[in-house]
Chains A and B, each alone.
Chain A
Amino acid sequence: MEEIRIVLPKIPDYHKIEVYENNGGYQSAKKAFNISTDEVIDIVKKSGLRGRGGAAFSTGLKWSFMPKTTDKPKYLAVNGDESEPGSFKDRQVFEDNPHQLIEGILISCYAIGAKTAYIYIRGEYHKWIKLMQKALDDAYEAGYVGEKMKEKFGTDFYCDIYIHKGAGAYICGEESALMNSLEGYRGYPRIKPPFPAQRGLWGNPTTINNVETIANIPKIIENGWEWFSSIGAQKHPGTILFGLSGHLNKPGVYELPSGILLTELIEKYGGGVLNGKKIKCVIPGGSSMPPLRGDQLEGIKMDADSLRDAGSAIGTAGVMVMDEDTNLLKVLLRITKFYHHESCGQCTPCREGTGWMEKTLKRLADGNGTPKDLDMLESVANNIEGNTICALGDAAAWPVKFMIQRFRNELEEYLKPEIILPVKNKVHSMRNTVNPLSTILR
């Protein structure tokens, strides 16, 4: 597949404002400000751009939900929480292309009518917060952001951009938790509806988009929607920042057209599996997404629809590869431990269910489980899925449910066979026991 760079161009020092300017930087914003907001939304809609934060929802459509006639202030929140295990792509945007993100924010704010944007960055990214702040300071200084924009771009429109530093909580990546966190509360997800476009930050209309999503916007405005929609998979066009990790020779972030074959991604870009081993399992979209069997990867394409058809999801495109020697029970335990730790605790099924699943899996991993426990785990997972305020519940349930469905034999290797009690019939048993009653009761 041909390499195309949209979000991470191979231009040395592109993160510096002068270099960005010399390569046509901030010209897309100028172009956008000279057409109507409806037209900008229309271009983004037609481009087919879908969110890169997990749900792959149409960005143009999301923008069109923002009320047009309102006296309330409107907000844009850019999601750089990036805490899903297996995903580490947005930090590359902060590092290599911060100005394209800033320019994307300007255009997005213009389109939805927001005067303030917040970039929410996870607290652990101290270094990338500093890099992003430096770029933002330079952009303010040059007049591309804030009130000076009016002069610089010759428009009435201007907006401010601020960075909000998180402090360690995966759940703050969930959009409504992110808003609570921004407002200074605990990161508790909110019940929807109302949706953020109706009642978001401080009760005002708000749009939340992922960092990578927004970083695509300037190029779509520059080159047109026809150009963007012709790249990669037709229904999920553009490039995707794939984060390859696990047992690979060349893990890392690779920007490639959507729809690339998973096998090509692993072999050609990831450099194949370490020590030439076979693949047992691949999680294609970050730890919440259903795992795929290594012997069934042939022909799977990396875009939202193809992956859905293959029984998984694109998520944040964090591809985790596990070789044939991997103990999947330990992997599942580690994933479940994560969701238990990160559950905010508001909903009983998620709070209690993740704890039970972790405890049970720990017992199994310690060698004290039987295949029946797998059925029990599946039923706990099914009782979490769909019964919670936010999608963290589903994110915790899916790995358990699908790992058991797809890797039952592999998991059973670590379990004891069924314990057969010396009782023939459980209901009217006492007459038929092999052993006298007294020995059982003792």
Chain B
Amino acid sequence: MGFQFTEENIARVNKAKSKYPTSLAAVMETLWIAQEQNGYISEEVMSHVAEVLQIDKVNVLSVVTFYTMYFQKKMGKYHIQVCTNVSCMLRGAYEIWDAVKDKLGIENMEVTSDGKFSLEEVECMGACGYAPMIAVNENFHENLNKEKVLEILDSLK
């Protein structure tokens, strides 16, 4: 069976559509909702999104492949994002990056074999004054050092 929005999510998609004069404009929000439900954007998800919005599948594909936050494969339960841009780098972001990589034993955009963690080196997250920072899924953790980061990772069950 292919991907189908839950009834509740169909209502959210319809609400998203009502914000814009075209249904194409709702594609980003619809994809967000789909990712929330499915974890990532698969072929099936794209087909369903195209169908629900009555837009061409190529429009969905072009958006999914342009924006970095739409996952094209299943990521870990905890998606760890380490910012290494300048302000964070000046305050030790690469030490944190190395420590996280060592601890999890994976490279950029890889997932641990138990599916618990995935890792991504990200560009500036808008937390430069509270650097260095990592984000775990949607949550920012700021003013970190190596020890604090390892503590955070340990606390994720």
A residues lining the B interface (CB < 8 Å) = 73, 82-88, 90-91, 118, 122-127, 162, 164-170, 181-187, 202, 243-247, 251-253, 283, 287, 318, 320, 322, 326, 330-331, 334-335, 338, 341-342
Contacts and interface: CB of A to CB of B under 8 A. Distances in A.
A183 B126 contact: no
A170 B69 contact: no
A342 B122 CA distance: 11
25 contacts: A83-B123, A87-B128, A124-B135, A125-B126, A127-B138, A127-B140, A162-B19, A164-B19, A166-B28, A167-B28, A167-B68, A184-B20, A184-B24, A184-B55, A186-B63, A243-B128, A243-B129, A244-B129, A245-B90, A245-B131, A252-B130, A320-B87, A320-B90, A330-B89, A334-B85
B48 interface: no
A251 B29 contact: no
Contacts of B84: 334
Contact of B126 (A91, A283, A326, A342): A91
A184 B128 contact: no
B113 interface: no
B129 A187 contact: no
Contacts of B69: 123-124, 167-168
Contacts, number: 139
Which of the listed residues B20, B129, B138 has the most CB atoms from chain A within 10 Å of its own CB?
A: B129
Nearest to A283: B86
Contact of A202 (B21, B32, B124): B21
Contacts of A86: 86-87, 124, 128
Given A126-B138, A247-B90, A320-B87, A88 B129 contact: yes
Given A73-B21, A251-B129, 19 more contacts: A83-B124, A87-B126, A124-B122, A124-B125, A126-B139, A162-B20, A164-B28, A166-B67, A167-B67, A183-B24, A185-B24, A186-B63, A244-B129, A245-B128, A245-B131, A246-B90, A326-B90, A331-B90, A338-B123
Contact of B62 (A91, A186, A326, A341): A186
Contacts of A125: 126
B70 to A, nearest CB: 6
B127 interface: yes
B128 A318 contact: yes
Contacts of A244: 129
Interface string B14-31: 000001111011111101
Interface of B: 19-22, 24-29, 31-32, 55, 59, 62-63, 66-70, 84-87, 89-91, 122-131, 135, 138-140
Nearest to A125: B126
Nearest to B26: A184
Contacts of B19: 118, 162, 164
B34 to A, nearest CB: 12
Contacts of B22: 183-184, 202
Nearest to A187: B66
Contacts of A170: 123
B126 A167 contact: no
A233 B6 CA distance: 55
A88 B126 contact: yes
A185 B128 contact: no
Contacts of A202: 21-22
Contacts of B26: 184
Contacts of A168: 67-70
Nearest to B64: A167
Contacts of A253: 129
A343 to B, nearest CB: 12
A320 B88 CA distance: 10
A184 B59 contact: yes
Contact of B87 (A82, A122, A245, A341): A245
Contacts of B20: 162, 182, 184
Nearest to A75: B21
Contacts of B87: 85-86, 245-246, 320
Nearest to B135: A124
B129 A252 contact: yes
Contacts of B130: 88, 251-252
Contacts of A320: 86-87, 90, 128
B128 A167 contact: no
Nearest to B84: A334
Nearest to B19: A162
Contacts of B21: 73, 202
Contacts of A246: 86-87, 90-91
A182 B22 CA distance: 10
A91 B140 CA distance: 13
Which 9 A-B pairs rank lowest in CB-CB distance, beginning with the nearest? A167-B67, A168-B68, A168-B69, A184-B24, A245-B128, A245-B87, A85-B124, A126-B138, A251-B129
Contacts of B89: 330-331, 334
